[in-house]
Structure 1
């Protein structure tokens, strides 16, 4: 039982011969009485200062363990707890979003990285970082399109060991019911589809129950950009219910349209409440960014920065302490020092209103070497019989398309399906033709919509045929019979596979087709070749778990060389280990092809080159699309950005033109050329927009540099520290449990063998919200189990247990120390190997600085005093190095105990304290300025927003009066009431904000000792 510490705050009472004393353990509650024999005098431990004065030093290993624990006990604001702590290859840009989110008390972010840069990983980093800082996250909700549910579940588990449940509608309703019953005690980590949540009933139920979420993540958030939709309404409700919120979208959002504003207004409605105000707010960003780019020339930067005073936001900037400090720094310095440049970068980032709420990284911005795309065309010359069948099917579809839809209606996939099927595979179409005639209908399944022209396409389940149409199909069947078993395309495909075998025998090959019939046909035919047993198939009708097993086998073994996949089968999956793709058919919508290639061409791709094979069926309309559309927009050679933004309705238009019976073949070719020109023009416009956008969005190099600085100064828990803490804990508490390298040496791999005591300990101290059954199973192995502390080794071998500070074992150890502080030792003497210029003996003091304002920040500040000359080192290179290297400390001999006398210590300690007070005062002034600026900005936003709303209402009143309405008119009275409410609401919000101006900075000496740097 954990002992309590309290104060006797009254006289005892005698009951049955026993004295009972009132003991206050919580000043906010009445003091309970305890019997005298259950009380003992509390003797406080010696302070760090007293221990140092009396030269009481603990064992070096005990000290290292204690300092690691201190970094975990209360997470430090300038540290990151996710560095090298997931099964991912470390990339600087992936830590930029978490830095932004942590540096604003609102904790809201729109993450708009390009496709393939790892947005899912960045979201996982944010969840893990928040979990480390807040303790366990009670409720985390991920909302995404249904096709991505499995991907999110898999990525969170595989890379971050986070177990999420995929939630159905009933699952979520049950969660809401349990939340009503149990409140905050109800835990949940769930992934749910946008389609499931965006109904009136679900949104209303969410509003009624109002569950509190620690964080909500919305993938493909651009679906929420239209305020008139249920998706947007859902976003508004989720925003109200969550502490932190993350929107993910690769779609470029144009500043000139409401799209970006609408998403930001969902994330931070109090700041971005009006579209006109939004444009006024971002107006100065162009000048701030220009100044940021010219810091190498302070005078030019100053001139550029002052242009913000020419904007509508002049008053806000003149009052802004960050702005005044930046102007002062630029005015006084012709050449900036490194520290001044870093400070100015920080100040200018603070001035940009989008810096902390929006982030976008493009492929060209990162150091990742993305693969080269090499397109290879397989020319297919159909036999006359094949060509006749292809043309006959195309003509049949064109006639029915024109008759059924004309030129202005929507497109049914069932109507155009036969043409797309014959273009995909003639033999599969022959088989399908028999089925169509037999059932007198053309049926499509959800697995056959891979060539959906656009998201509004009507995917009919069937198209019932009339007798005349049946007669036409019977004629087509006779033409099909002439083809026989001939399949020129398949023969060319196998020939290409054999050539590829000689070029790259180990190549992993993906073959995409948008029809299940095509894939099944290919599977059957390939089993009669030398590829028998080396081919596997996935499509939408195969259960996701079975798909997962097939993909795992494809990824991890050489048994499967070729994977046949439909669009639906491959949705949300990554095949970065694969380097060859065959587009067995080409969707007319290039977005579908980009999605196929994007499964391979993404972060983590292991090859320098991706080979993309396409079939050119000479003399067909599909070939014209390949030659004129695809080659013009260059989709096979390079990533061309977000195709949704580029294509618009062009592909729908293309489809209508191709099936227009009034056009000749040559006219159709001209239409294809014209549409290709339009798409190419849009491409260029989008590229120009991206350049223009950078003027306002923000310069993120500062955040990349900050990630690098954290890396260099080791402001994170290193794998060495995790390894040390586990070894030390086992040695001191469970010596029968062992951690050692395997007999056959393997770098960065260890065998963890657990005795029954340690197993019981983990069961007792592991969080109730974590699933530790698998860990318990491994811990029960008599011979132990293999573990690693290295992220690189964990990526190479996912069978290894990856132990980080987020692992249940390490969390259990941290909780143990929370309850057993007597095992924490604050002083030591040791040696470190370091730079010659720092050699010598030092007294060191480590302080915890606590800053409290709109949010609380904790940082460690080490002070080192050279005992030879009493030179004080504080906030410098030596201090940064010292904190990062302590885990490498070695014991000192007893002779070093006499390196200082008590009177010298008192003088040195006093001097160190004075230096710290200078730092504290400086930090408090900075904090006050920053807090005042944040409060002032929020007050100004409230005022501007209210002013715009009031002016709009006044304008309505003015127009009504011009129409002859009086002040007593109900509509005028309504708007006058609105104006009064706007003013009252504004004043109330300003009063609330004024109360948030108070700040404080305090410190506590948590550790100290002697270090010999040698």
Structure 2
């Protein structure tokens, strides 16, 4: 309480006093007083360099334990500046849950959906979530936003990012260019050193490290003390230092492409567990659509929270118990809303032991019991509360393009027909027939090796024959084809089969030169590129091809035809990023040639032409190609997807027809992966089954395409009448947009005012200026 009487002794130094007219301005008495007529003037030190005499009758003595509540009871209020100062101070403390500390902290455009994971994370009871956004929506940005939040809220100092090796430079560049965060790319030995240094001085050691999943995976006997390789030593060190409330090796660990951890028997999964246990917080990122009923999802959720997902049987029980909640949400979003059926579903859910004594669910049931009028506000509020009850919602967040992007990019496919010359047709038929003969009785690696040869032939006949003639092995693309079709990390393939004898036609150098002159497919490409470049000399094109030989052949031919181009493939290291940066320049090359592996992690949304020089036999690989261009930041209203149709070939009769039926080039297939399952391998085996005639294979492809089309239509119907199980998108996006519009984030002007106010109060006369030649937010302070 403040002492309102004048009985206090102003000659006692160190007393806390304040101005009655401005209680926010407080200071300490120095013990010096002087008289001015009948008034007593008291010297008060308001700051390190601010002393002044104030009339005693305008001052009051403060109680050190005086609270805001007591000030209100006394009617002692400050001015607007005091309120602004206190509000900014509370923001700076980093404890407010309705403030986005990461908002407007990056060199990126604002997208509301990228703050959904922050809301989930801040309110999470486990501090770990799976971010499963569709490709191209900015999972990297979302993860870094969460790191920025933790820096403010928790004074986080140590960040570890684990990703496939090919994505390390992408992460480093995004951190530096978008957030001004400088990260080190490290191997197991360097990361081990960082961890040891932290354990030696845990309070003051900070780092941001990026490492590859392949580079830190421990071997089978990693816990054997006699094994001294860096991976095993790192695993043992993490295992012996689990995170606690007092300290953790990593404040935040981010594991990108987390679907590589979904097999619980692998070294990748084991290092994921060790990193999780050594981290205060954890993010798993994956663009692979979440399959609710799959064991893969269970394994990822078990990584997130092993305490809650003890067994796959328990997980399935949770899904069953959660189903009435999903049904209730569907009834809320039906037109008109069916509140009675929603209430029945909620009552059914309440009978499950998983929802025993759930007060929020009781409140929802009561709200549905009352007489309520149908309104969007009511539905949104009830739906939002129901989503919070969902047993999986606190662990997963997922956004899809169709949910969060009102003006999505239109995909416009265009087909270039290729008619083989007599020489090309003869060679194609010869090789195809020999492959079919040798397929009989083949299984496993031998089978897929032969199929790969057929695919090489369709990709580029000249390049295929040159490769076979000189190399006779699959060294140049076995890692890439493993990645493309089956999602295997590079270097996991143990054997590299040699080509079978007698497969290839005997061709002289002269024959190859003639085949090169007759290359019908390349001639179509050249004609198309020259016509488009004539319309716009600065147009950019990305050409994807599956095989290295094809890409190198195209690089050479395009240079000969004066079409500027550059090439990226796997295992290029940092040089790949320099090439992409060169391609992005207005006066840079017109064409970027790329393999899937080479383009992983690269954003190419400045380009609107994509050319599939060949087609992968996995539909999801096609989607990932298109996703390089069809992503946030694409300025064009439409992107052109150019495909080649090899007339009267297996590829044209089967693969192209299948892709046409599922409309892969017109729209994102997104959640179709949950329908495709393991179709890729089945497609390859059936398409090349030597026991089936061509007509039988065509019929099978049409049936498969029709089945997929029906499944896709059914899935769309369900999505139209139901909300996303893991994110109540409409309500969340609206609240995020409102926060942005109302300035509920720490704004530069607030920090500016706070700092200026501090110096004005405690260092009067301080001059704060911004140099005229500075555009980086630097200021010069003269005390």
With the length of structure 1 as denominator, give the TM-score of the two structures: 0.62
Measured in 1, the distance between the counterparts of 2:280 and 2:766 equals: 43
- Within 5 Å, which residues of 2 pair with 1:595-674? 595-642=624-671, 644-674=673-703
Question: Is the Cα contact below 8 Å between 1:539 and 1:565 reproduced in 2?
Answer: yes
CA offsets 1:984-1008 (integer angstroms, 9 cap, x no match): xxxxxxxxxxxxxxxxxxxxxxxxx
Q: 1:523 to 1:299 in 2, by over 3 A?
A: closer
Q: Secondary structure at the match of 1:511?
A: strand
Measured in 1, the distance between the counterparts of 2:132 and 2:559 equals: 44
Question: Is the Cα contact below 8 Å between 2:349 and 2:355 reproduced in 1?
Answer: no
> Does residue 509 of the first structure (1) align with residue 547 of the second (2)?
no
Task: Identify the residue that residue 158 of structure 2 maps to in structure 1.
Answer: 139
> Does residue 93 of the first structure (1) align with residue 126 of the second (2)?
no
- Within 5 Å, which residues of 2 pair with 1:731-742? 738-739=769-770
Question: Is the Cα contact below 8 Å between 1:579 and 1:607 reproduced in 2?
Answer: yes
Q: 1:369 to 1:478 in 2, by over 3 A?
A: same
Task: Identify the residue that residue 290 of structure 2 maps to in structure 1.
Answer: 253
> Does residue 352 of the first structure (1) align with residue 390 of the second (2)?
yes
Question: Is the Cα contact below 8 Å between 1:450 and 1:568 reproduced in 2?
Answer: no
CA offsets 1:508-544 (integer angstroms, 9 cap, x no match): 211111223322222222223343xx32222224332
Measured in 2, the distance between the counterparts of 1:696 and 1:497 equals: 45
Q: Give the CA deviation at 1:577.
A: 1.0
Task: Identify the residue that residue 540 of structure 1 maps to in structure 2.
Answer: 570
Q: Give the CA deviation at 1:666.
A: 3.7
Q: Give the CA deviation at 1:710.
A: 2.3
Q: 1:288 to 1:718 in 2, by over 3 A?
A: same
Task: Identify the residue that residue 431 of structure 2 maps to in structure 1.
Answer: 393
- Within 5 Å, which residues of 2 pair with 1:747-896? 750=775, 755=780
Task: Identify the residue that residue 502 of structure 2 maps to in structure 1.
Answer: 469
Measured in 2, the distance between the counterparts of 1:315 and 1:417 equals: 53
> Does residue 699 of the first structure (1) align with residue 734 of the second (2)?
no
Task: Identify the residue that residue 975 of structure 1 maps to in structure 2.
Answer: none
> Does residue 114 of the first structure (1) align with residue 114 of the second (2)?
no
Q: Give the CA deviation at 1:84.
A: 2.1
Question: Which ranges of structure 1 fall in alignment gaps of 5 or more residues?
Answer: 7-41, 743-748, 762-1014
- Which of the residues 404, 415, 418 maps onto 1:377? 415
Q: Give the CA deviation at 1:257.
A: 3.5
Q: 1:97 to 1:474 in 2, by over 3 A?
A: same
Q: Give the CA deviation at 1:495.
A: 1.0
Q: Secondary structure at the match of 1:551?
A: helix
Question: Which ranges of structure 2 fall in alignment gaps of 5 or more residues?
Answer: 1-13, 16-60, 223-231, 243-247
Q: Give the CA deviation at 1:361.
A: 1.9
Q: Secondary structure at the match of 1:669?
A: helix
Task: Identify the residue that residue 432 of structure 1 maps to in structure 2.
Answer: 467
CA offsets 1:548-607 (integer angstroms, 9 cap, x no match): 122122223333221111222211111111100111122222222221111011122111
Task: Identify the residue that residue 75 of structure 1 maps to in structure 2.
Answer: 95
Q: Give the CA deviation at 1:656.
A: 3.5
Task: Identify the residue that residue 167 of structure 2 maps to in structure 1.
Answer: 148
Task: Identify the residue that residue 320 of structure 1 maps to in structure 2.
Answer: 358
Task: Identify the residue that residue 792 of structure 1 maps to in structure 2.
Answer: none
Q: Give the CA deviation at 1:107.
A: 1.7
Question: Is the Cα contact below 8 Å between 2:133 and 2:139 reproduced in 1?
Answer: yes
CA offsets 1:180-231 (integer angstroms, 9 cap, x no match): 4344544332222333344332444431344532222222323333334443
Task: Identify the residue that residue 444 of structure 2 maps to in structure 1.
Answer: 409
More displaced stretch, 275-284 vs 707-716: 275-284
Measured in 2, the distance between the counterparts of 1:335 and 1:450 equals: 57
Q: Secondary structure at the match of 2:588?
A: coil
- Which of the residues 148, 159, 165 maps onto 2:178? 159
CA offsets 1:270-319 (integer angstroms, 9 cap, x no match): 22324444444444544445555639999953663354443574567573
Measured in 2, the distance between the counterparts of 1:346 and 1:655 equals: 44
Measured in 1, the distance between the counterparts of 2:458 and 2:428 equals: 7
Measured in 1, the distance between the counterparts of 2:286 and 2:722 equals: 16
Q: Give the CA deviation at 1:233.
A: 3.4
Question: Is the Cα contact below 8 Å between 2:485 and 2:621 reproduced in 1?
Answer: no
CA offsets 1:376-428 (integer angstroms, 9 cap, x no match): 111111210122122233334444444xxx34323576544443333222332
Instruction: Determine which structure has the larger helix proportion and give its number.
Output: 1
Q: Secondary structure at the match of 2:642?
A: strand
Task: Identify the residue that residue 605 of structure 2 maps to in structure 1.
Answer: 576
> Does residue 420 of the first structure (1) align with residue 455 of the second (2)?
yes
Q: Give the CA deviation at 1:164.
A: 2.5
Question: Is the Cα contact below 8 Å between 1:629 and 1:672 reproduced in 2?
Answer: yes
Task: Identify the residue that residue 299 of structure 2 maps to in structure 1.
Answer: 262
User: How many residues in Structure 1 have an aligned counterpart in Structure 2?
Assistant: 701
Q: Secondary structure at the match of 1:474?
A: coil
Question: Is the Cα contact below 8 Å between 1:407 and 1:656 reproduced in 2?
Answer: no
Measured in 2, the distance between the counterparts of 1:537 and 1:635 equals: 26
Q: 1:722 to 1:522 in 2, by over 3 A?
A: farther
Q: 1:397 to 1:268 in 2, by over 3 A?
A: same
Q: Give the CA deviation at 1:726.
A: 6.6
Q: 1:104 to 1:517 in 2, by over 3 A?
A: closer
Q: Secondary structure at the match of 1:391?
A: helix
Q: 1:600 to 1:723 in 2, by over 3 A?
A: farther
- Which of the residues 208, 220, 226 maps onto 2:263? 226
Measured in 2, the distance between the counterparts of 1:269 and 1:589 equals: 33
Measured in 2, the distance between the counterparts of 1:628 and 1:416 equals: 19
- Within 5 Å, which residues of 2 pair with 1:482-501? 483=515, 485-501=517-533
Question: Is the Cα contact below 8 Å between 2:93 and 2:153 reproduced in 1?
Answer: no
Question: Is the Cα contact below 8 Å between 1:741 and 1:751 reproduced in 2?
Answer: no
Task: Identify the residue that residue 210 of structure 2 maps to in structure 1.
Answer: 191
